[in-house]
Structure 1
Amino acid sequence: MAKLNSGDIVWMSPDATIGREQQGRRPAVIVAGNEFLTLVDSLALIVPVTSRGRGWPNHVPLLELPGPSWAMTEQLRLVSRERLHEHLDVVDELAMQRIQHWIRRFLDL
């Protein structure tokens, strides 16, 4: 896969999931900073995307994808880059700020 940048939206295959973890091929937003992505070339920190609106305040709408889409910030996940496939788009700056806000809030940062 080509070079990754924070905010990229890519296809991901999160096989071998358990419980409420998201499963099945789906878009994911790269949320790792560019320094992490440069230093750790085999992993990426992502949040998966859903097409099911739940009305949760931490589900950030993504307007870049063809159908209704939300970044699920509560499902922050470190994955092998081997799970990442085709580059789809890039999250707009305001949505990325909202995603980062919720991640910081959930991690008490």
Structure 2
Amino acid sequence: MRTGDVYWVRPDAVIGREQAGRRPFVIVASDLYLSVVDSLALGVPITRTDRRWPNHVHVDLPGLTGFAMTEQLRTLSRNRFDGYIGRIDDVTLGAIREWLADYLDF
């Protein structure tokens, strides 16, 4: 597991507007974090719905087109991961990180 990888996850149980159901999830945690904290991963879900929100970053992988929901940063147990999809490019990862940095005031 590395920064920028995309996996299928099962994030249930969720509350309110959190994304539910099996869905793609982009890993945004650093490779160092992922090697030290080997039971968790930080990332954002991907939706197929184009809400035209500027903070939804377009993701295009073979067999998967969608939008990374940067406002829904989440830590998940790796037990929720259900299959590798692919890896986003550095430009897409950079756009996601810019939104996260803005939210967290980095």
Q: Smaller-chain TM-score range?
A: over 0.9
How many pairs were matched up?
Answer: 106
Q: SS of the counterpart of 1:69?
A: strand
Name the structure 2 match of 1:46: 43
**Residue matched to 1:86:** 83
Distance, in Å, in 2 between the alignment partners of 1:46 and 1:27 is 10
1:54-103 superposed Cα distances (whole Å, 9 cap, x missing partner): 00111000011524300000000011000112110100110000000000
In structure 1, the partner of 2:60 is: 63
Q: Secondary structure at the match of 1:63?
A: strand
Is 1:97 the counterpart of 2:94? The answer is: yes
With the length of structure 1 as denominator, give the TM-score of the two structures.
0.94
Q: In structure 2, what is the Cα distance between the partners aligned to 1:71 and 1:65?
A: 16
TM-score under structure 2 normalisation? 0.97
Q: Distance in 1 between matches of 2:65 and 2:6?
A: 14
Q: Deviations over 1:20-55 (max 9, x none)?
A: 000000000000000000000000001000000000
Which of the two has greater strand per residue? 2
Identity of aligned residues (%): 47
Which structure 1 segments of 5+ residues have no match?
A: none
For structure 2, the 5+ residue unaligned runs are none
Question: Which stretches of structure 1, 4 residues or longer, exceed 2 Å deviation after superposition?
Answer: 65-68
